[in-house]
Amino acid sequence: MPIFRVDFHHHVKGDPVDLISYTACDLIDSAVLHGIHALAITPHGLVFHDPEARSYAEKKGILLIFGVEKRVEGKEVLLLNVSPEEVPAVMSFEDLKELRLQKGKALLVVAPHPFYPTSVCMGEALDRYGELFDGVEYAHLHLPFYNPNDRAVEWARENGKSILANSDTHSLFMIGRNYSEVNCAELSIDSIFQAIRERAVRPVIHLPSFWEVFRFLMEVSVFQSLIRLLIPSRNGDPLAQKC
């Protein structure tokens, strides 16, 4: 059975929340260099659905999945293989349950950075809504002496869910360090999602150096906060940013 490298949490230029410098096609080029086979682009709150980016990915041998990092009752949830019409502007866990029923196995739901100490992470709510999730994320940002992913691993084991290592890319230096190896028959959405449900997946995790953590905090957190302060009403649209 072949093994495919998947990385299912990326932001690109035009993200409605974060200021990102690279386009979807830059991300795809970078994924090729790092031997990634399947990507999901997941803007904050807005479903990515650019057919041009998908055909560019196809040409490069990459399976590109449309997705979103959606707030569901204030908690961030990765919805993979969705269209804009399927995701309401304001979403409840009841809506998510409905979406799961509607889409069946064609939908993959993952809790990103679930036990990081911010109110937008699922945290304890995972115990209430665990049945709605296929997996939990092993997030990129951690230190040898501080790793909130440990709780995610424990939760996944206790609840029989997959652990997916993702990049949560905000800068291209982040790609290729964390990804998941999925053992499945072919490079297709059905085959990969099924394997993830069956836990035929192995997270590949890179412990970031202090320099990488510093760079991430400066580029993403400090810089982003400054931009938000200066331009509070900035709204992006990933589809307006052509490759």
Number of Cβ within 10 Å of residue 51's Cβ equals 10
Q: Give me the least distance between CB of 233 and Fe ion, in Å please.
A: 21
How many residues make contact with Fe ion (CB under 5 A)?
2
Which one of 168, 193, 203, 239 is in contact with Fe ion (CB under 5 A)?
Answer: 168
Which one of 69, 79, 107, 216 is in contact with Fe ion (CB under 5 A)?
Answer: 69
Nearest CB to Fe ion, comparing residues 134 and 168? 168
Range 170-229, binding Fe ion (CB under 5 A) = none
With contacts defined by CB under 5 A, name the span among 90-98, 146-154, 168-176, 189-197 that binds Fe ion. 168-176
Q: Give me the least distance between CB of 120 and Fe ion, in Å please.
A: 10
With contacts defined by CB under 5 A, name the span among 46-54, 125-133, 134-142, 163-171 that binds Fe ion. 163-171
Range 79-138, binding Fe ion (CB under 5 A) = none
Residue 183 pairs in a beta bridge with 3
Nearest CB to Fe ion, comparing residues 21 and 188? 21
Q: Give me the least distance between CB of 227 and Fe ion, in Å please.
A: 17
Q: Give me the least distance between CB of 67 and Fe ion, in Å please.
A: 10
Q: Give me the least distance between CB of 241 and Fe ion, in Å please.
A: 17
Q: Give me the least distance between CB of 185 and Fe ion, in Å please.
A: 29
CB contact set of 99 (below 8 Å; sequence gap of 6+): 79, 82, 86, 87, 107
Nearest CB to Fe ion, comparing residues 78 and 184? 78
Using alpha carbons, list the distances in angstroms from residue 161 to 13, 65, 213. 31, 21, 28
Q: Give me the least distance between CB of 75 and Fe ion, in Å please.
A: 13
218 CB-side CA count, 13 A: 6
With contacts defined by CB under 5 A, name the span among 25-33, 66-74, 204-212, 226-234 that binds Fe ion. 66-74
Residue 15 makes contact with Fe ion by CB under 5 A: no
Residues that bind Fe ion (CB under 5 A): 69, 168
